[in-house]
Structure formats: C-alpha cells, structure tokens
Amino acid sequence: MPLGDDGHSWKKKTSDVKENYDFKEILGTGAFSEVVLAEEKRTQKLVAIKCIPKKALEGKENSIENEIAVLHKLKHANIVSLEDIFESKTHLYLIMQLVSGGELFDRIVEKGFYTEKDASKLIQQILDAVKYLHDMGIVHRDLKPENLLYDSMEEDSKIMISDFGLSKIEGSGSVMSTACGTPGYVAPEVLAQKPYSKAVDCWSIGVIAYILLCGYPPFYDENDAKLFEQILKADYEFDSPYWDDISDSAKDFIVHLMEKDPRIRYTCDQALQHPWIAGDTALDKNIHESVSAQIKKNFAKSKWRQAFNATAVVRHMRRLQLGTSQEGPSQTTLPSTLRAHLLLPEATETEHTTGQWGKPPSHNTS
C-alpha cells in the first residue's frame, strides 16, 4: 500500500519541511534514511529529523508503517518520543525528540562513584518504561545498553529507551516467533524458535542489570553455537571476585528475570515490587573501579557508533551555551567522552555484536 494512501490522519502534508525547520547538520545515515539535526523555526527547539525517501521504501512500506504506528502511540517520560510526522511527495519526515546526554556505559565510566543503588534506580526507570510498553501491548524485542540513552547532560538526567525498529504491537492474545534481537541479550525461547511474548523484554532487563553490576555480559563465547547453548540453558554465574561485594538481593532480582522458563519469569510488575527496586536492599558501596574497568574492556564501541556523527549535537550545545552564558561552570561541564544520540528506528534485523560477546571478563581489573 503506498504511503499516504492509508488514511492516517497523523501525517501532515507539506510541500517543503524546511518551511518549518532549519536543517543544521547530518547526524547519521541508516539503511534507507538520513537523520538531521534541525531547529524548529517557531520555537527554536532542537530536534532530530529522520528523512526517508519514499523511493527507498518500495516494498518496505509495512515495516516503516509499523515503526510509526508504534512510536506514535508512545508518551512516557523514559521513552524517546516521535513528536510529529510530515509527508511530502517524495519524503516522509519523522520529527524525533533529541536526547543529548549520551550512552549509559559512557556515563557510568565517567562517574567517580557508582553503587548498586545507582544501578537499581536505572533499572527502575527501564522497568517503568517497559511496563508502560507492555500495558500498551508493545514488545520492544531489542532492549540492550546501546538503546538506553540519557536525556540531558545533567547529573540527575533520566534514562531514555530508544530504537523501536524491532518492536511489535501484540494483537490480542498473540504470540510472536520471528527471531530478532541482539545476540547475548536474547531470551532462550527466541533462540529456541518457540513462540514468545512480553517475557523476552524482562529477560533482557535481567541481562542489563547483570552487566550494570559487574561490567561484563553473563554469556560469552567466541563460538556463536556455544554462546547460544549457554543462553538456551540459562547457564550463567556470579563469578568471584566481581560479584563478591554485590548483595544477595541484587542476585535474587537477576535470577528471577533471567529465568529460563518464561511462564515463571518475573513480569515488570513483579520486578518493580522486588526489594532491590522497591525496598532498601541495594547497597551504597562504591563499585565504580571494578565495573568501569570491565565495561571498558568488554564493550568497545562498534564501528557504527564510531562513525556516527554524535559530536554535531555536542558542538551545537556548546555553541548555545557560549552564546547565552559568558561565565560560570556551564561552559566547562561537558565531559570529553560525551555522546549525543537519538532514536534511529531502522527496520534492521539482528545486529551482530561480535567482539562484545566474544571474550570472558578479564581477571585483571587494574
């Protein structure tokens, strides 16, 4: 079905989107789109615009319509929003919320102090957002640290879930069986090619919580077949010395999410009620040195991340700050390793992260 012929009232017709927005810089390119940093003329607000030529969508209309249908429904404080949609004769323009606080791992490494309590607060925000998705009948299917971005550069910035290229809106009582997601974060039932549902996201949150507390993934092998075998068996451990100072409550929380059987795996609701999230069992002990050392060793930037023109947003923010403040700390508070990202909901299949999952944790944290 041709785009624009489906009667979606949420698309605004335009002859030229640049009547509404000043295009600044290209932030990145995807499989069939380009993402541009832009400023809305009326409000002077910075946004990210995903520009999709219709020619590139021939035969792919369903996938992009699925992304838009998912994104347009979502309004949550911890989910990057699709703010507007414009359609011209040649292009579709998705006006996205711009998030400029960088990636989760970058922020943890930059910190000098990091505790279980910090990790618990992060996971609570993720659980809140994913519970919202699940209540809306949406399964994310590709939750991973790379899709968790900070809203701003502020110390207390909230975390945001992005990238809905693999999302699926569940029909009533439906189950899904399409294999998708990123190796290492994918639930056993997905690898087993069994029908699955919302529980796959809860498994992924368990994997993320595991990494947040030690800095390395629960499953690792240079051989994909062996890696998948570990996941299928839910064969992971809380290795010494990395987990020696982590609370039993944190481990219990992870065990309930990284449960092989999806029928008894914790739901978001159950996880939100666990003492490690809702109570006071998360410890205040500083685990930054060990965790940040492992993150740096086990999660090298992918080539795509390195190629992504993240500095364009940082340069823009810096210019704005210099233009509005001639003195004070705001000019020097941008960390050197800051990354600025935005939602790039490409309809891609599995992103293979060889290298991130191909080695065990180093036993030298110095």
Task: Tell me what pLDDT residue 195 has.
Answer: 75
Task: Tell me what pLDDT residue 19 has.
Answer: 92
Task: Tell me what pLDDT residue 326 has.
Answer: 36
Positions in the chain short of pLDDT 70: 1-10, 30-31, 67, 163-183, 301-366
**60 known ligand binder:** no
142 included as an active-site residue: yes
| Cβ-based neighbours of 278, under 8 Å, separated by 6 or more | 272
d(CA 104, CA 107): 5
Angle value at C-alpha 114, between 75 and 101, nearest 5 degrees: 40
Catalytic residue among 118, 142, 163, 201: 142
d(CA 42, CA 110): 36
Task: Tell me what pLDDT residue 364 has.
Answer: 45
Task: Tell me what pLDDT residue 149 has.
Answer: 87
Angle value at C-alpha 207, between 206 and 212, nearest 5 degrees: 95
d(CA 338, CA 160): 16
Domains of the chain plus CATH, in order, are 104-298 (1.10.510.10)
Task: Tell me what pLDDT residue 108 has.
Answer: 93
From the list 264, 183, 176, 179, the residue with the least C-alpha distance to 224 is 183
Task: Tell me what pLDDT residue 273 has.
Answer: 98
